[in-house]
Amino acid sequence: MALRPNNRLGMRTQQMSHDQAYAAGIDEGLRAYMLKVYNYMCIGLGLTGAVAFATSTSPALMQTIYGTPLQWVVMLAPIGLVFFLAAKVQSMKASTAQTLFWIYAGSMGLSLAYVFAVYTGESVARVFFITAGAFAGLSLYGYTTKRNLSGMGSFLIMGVIGLLIAAVVNIFLESSALQFAISVLGVLIFAGLTAYDTQKIKSIYVESDGTAVAEKKAIMGALTLYLDFINMFIFLLHLFGNRE
């Protein structure tokens, strides 16, 4: 009779060992997936910065882009690429999605070249590191918190829509007070989105995903966090950047 409890204990121990091994496998896969997301995002940011800086140091190129209607193409092309990638990513190859992401990052560099022409290099660098530090902390919070941030999503998206409307209105009003309010709210909204999006990207990881699916999820996750970083950087630059 004494053998039965021992057998049961042994079975429970084996089950616990199996569960722990399974959880460890998921954790390892999740870490690799999130690392890929951050790597893509960082490379994209590096490409954007390199293209923006190279463009800003070429007077002829700056005149060609910002002195002609071509500036509208440069400004609107990244928006079109984002919508196209989001709509078609499921039906395209992972390699195609990755290529489009690099094209998008490069086109954003062209559209952000004005930053180096309008603001001092020192203030651009300072605001970049401020943004990087804030982003790292917020993304880490989103990754590690046990709190469900999904309730923030709709509120933050509404905030983004409100920002767009206010920005369009301010094109005609040219109000410095409204621009200041937009910048402050923009920083807060994209700070919240950084934490929210990180948790969402983490939550859609599935261990059983095939290589292509996991790759495309990582690319779209990188694009989402890239946008959060860029927008937070721009709004902080409006607040703390020193103009030439």
Residues across the chain: 244
Domain segments of the chain: what residues? 3-240
For the chain, helix, strand, coil in percent to 5 are 85, 0, 15
CA dist 230 and 24 (Å) reads: 34
Q: Where are the beta strands (DSSP E) in the chain?
A: none
Angle at 150 between CA 233 and CA 78, to 5 degrees: 40
CA dist 87 and 146 (Å) reads: 31
Q: Tens-of-pLDDT digits for all 244 residues of the chain?
A: 444 555 555 555 555 544 454 444 457 889 999 999 999 999 999 999 999 999 999 999 999 988 888 888 999 999 999 999 999 999 999 999 999 999 999 999 999 999 998 999 999 999 999 999 999 999 999 999 999 999 898 899 999 999 999 999 998 998 999 999 999 999 999 999 999 999 999 999 987 788 899 999 999 999 999 999 999 999 999 999 988 7
pTM over 0.85? The answer is: yes
The amino acid that residue 148 corresponds to is N
194 closest CA partner among 147, 131, 241, 238 = 131
